[in-house]
Amino acid sequence: MKKKQAKRGLEARAPARREANRVASLMDLGERLDIEPGLVGAAKVREGFGLTREEFSRVTGASVRSLATYEQGKSPPGRAVQTRLVELARLHAALCAVMKAGRVGAWMTTPSPGFGGLKPLEVIERGQIDRVWRAVYELSLGTAT
């Protein structure tokens, strides 16, 4: 009798354990990607998202002209922009883990009911990237709207 109860207890905790593992894997994704400042190219990140320079400048805080100079290798981005590029590279990798890479750009520029009709790009632009990370988590669970 005790063995059956113990087995049922383990089975009941299994879904919670799987969800906890999934959350941990998403939260640690950036660290596992070995993305470090100085190694992230603006062009590579922008093209990964499928965004224009104008769109990408809105989420990086850099001007379109500055982005062009970073992409051409004429000058390196400042610390704030490089930090943002690393954050965006991590977000892109996480999105590619929950959807096809070719769909990321369309997802970023499509209004979403989960963001009150805003595009994920606009949510990031407003300084609410945490809401986008939450959506990535919900997409991984299959519960996103």
Q: Is residue 53 part of a domain?
A: yes
pLDDT band, very low/low/confident/very high, at 40 (cuts 50, 70, 90): confident
Whether residue 98 is predicted with pLDDT greater than 50 in this model: the reply is yes
For residues 139 and 145, give the distance between their C-alpha atoms in angstroms, rounded to a whole number: 8
Q: What is the residue type of 123?
A: V
- Domain span at residue 56 reads 36-141
Asked if 78 contacts 10 with a C-beta cutoff of 8 angstroms, the reply is no
For residues 17, 29, 83 and 112, what is the CA-based torsion angle, rounded to 10 degrees?
-80
Q: Is residue 21 part of a domain?
A: no
Lowest-confidence pick of 18-32, 77-91, 113-127: 18-32
Q: Is residue 73 part of a domain?
A: yes
For residues 86 and 73, give the distance between their C-alpha atoms in angstroms, rounded to a whole number: 17
Q: What is the residue type of 99?
A: M
pTM over 0.85? The answer is no
**Count of the separate structural domains present in the chain:** 1
Asked if 36 contacts 86 with a C-beta cutoff of 8 angstroms, the reply is yes
Lowest-confidence pick of 29-33, 44-48, 74-78, 125-129: 29-33
pLDDT digits (tens, 9 = 90+) for 100-119: 999 999 999 999 999 999 99
Q: Is residue 31 part of a domain?
A: no
For residues 68 and 43, give the distance between their C-alpha atoms in angstroms, rounded to a whole number: 9
